[in-house]
Structure 1
Amino acid sequence: MDNMLDDTGKLILRLALGVMILLHGIDKVSGGVGHIEGMLAGAGLPGVLAYGAYIGEVLAPVLLIIGLYARIGAVLIAVNMLFAIGLAHADEVVQLTQHGGWAIELQAMFLFSAIALALTGPGRLAINRY
């Protein structure tokens, strides 16, 4: 029974993270990644890296949702979130909101959920265990 509960918990985590990140990816598909290119250029990085957002926000969450190479998908999301925090939210890392929450709590939750899935794997309710 405990294994089934663990696997169900991993499924819920995979689906929640996958769907929430995929929504950001859909926005990138419809609106482009030009704003990310600008942030990368401002940081002295090549603008072509902006297209990595499609990997981290479209491909990776689909892998999580269907449970196919979900650990790889989780690592890709974690890397994507590190870029997002570094490029768009670096000044907020040490800030709190007016209500006492961490200013980057959403981005941090995405990052740490992805790390947790990369470490634990997708569970048995997935296409494969990778």
Structure 2
Amino acid sequence: MKKLMQIELNESSVSIAVLLLRFGVGIMMLVHGIPKLQMLFSGDIQFPGVMGMSPTISLVLTVFSEVLCSILLLIGLFTRIAAIPLIVTMLVAVLMIHGSDPYAMKELGLFYLLGYVVLLILGSGKYSFDAIMQSYRIKE
């Protein structure tokens, strides 16, 4: 019981939590991004243009974010940088695409947004390529 009530953070526990968050949101966002990638390659683009961009440019930016940045999160490479396009994508989805929809339609985007903001703040943790690269730079 004492351990459950402990408020001090342990670096290993935080790194495991960050790893689980990276894997969870990374894989779940890939489920959204891969069909968009297929749409882009098929040429049959049924996607909204936002902020004055054409549907094709909107789709390319979304695919970049949801596929490439999600893969970077999964492996923990450039995690904070990869979180930024994902945050922007979720803000566009929540505020512009689903702006007039009821809260229930925005909820998933808000959950992703929250996860990406946490990753932006915490980084990738010690179980990541970022950590490997940092330890390599320290040894030089």
Q: Is 1:84 aligned to residue 86 of structure 2?
A: no
Q: Summarize the Cα distance change of 1:44–1:124 in structure 2 as closer, same or farther, 3 Å threshold.
A: closer
2:6 alignment partner in structure 1: none
1:4 alignment partner in structure 2: 12
2:138 alignment partner in structure 1: none
Where does the alignment leave 5 or more consecutive residues of structure 1 unmatched?
A: 97-101
Question: Quick one: distance in 2 between partners of 1:83 and 1:124?
Answer: 31
Q: Summarize the Cα distance change of 1:44–1:56 in structure 2 as closer, same or farther, 3 Å threshold.
A: closer
1:56 alignment partner in structure 2: 65
Instruction: Give the 4+ runs in structure 1 shifted more than 6 A.
Output: none
- Written as runs of structure 1 = structure 2, the 5 A alignment for 1:27-42 is 27-32=35-40, 34-36=45-47, 39-40=48-49
Under a length normalisation based on structure 1, what TM-score does the superposition of the two structures give?
0.82
Coordinate RMSD, CA, aligned:
2.0
Under a length normalisation based on structure 2, what TM-score does the superposition of the two structures give?
0.76
1:108 alignment partner in structure 2: 110
Q: Is 1:23 aligned to residue 34 of structure 2?
A: no
Give the share of equivalent positions with the same residue, in percent.
27
Q: Once the 2 structures are TM-superposed, how far is the Cα of residue 13 of structure 1 from its aligned partner? A: 0.4
Where does the alignment leave 5 or more consecutive residues of structure 2 unmatched?
A: 1-8, 135-140
Question: Quick one: distance in 2 between partners of 1:51 and 1:12?
Answer: 28
> Is the CA contact 2:26–2:73 (under 8 Å) kept in the aligned structure 1?
yes
Q: Once the 2 structures are TM-superposed, how far is the Cα of residue 78 of structure 1 from its aligned partner? A: 0.5
1:123 partner amino acid: G
Question: Quick one: distance in 2 between partners of 1:30 and 1:103?
Answer: 24
Question: Quick one: distance in 1 between partners of 2:128 and 2:110?
Answer: 25
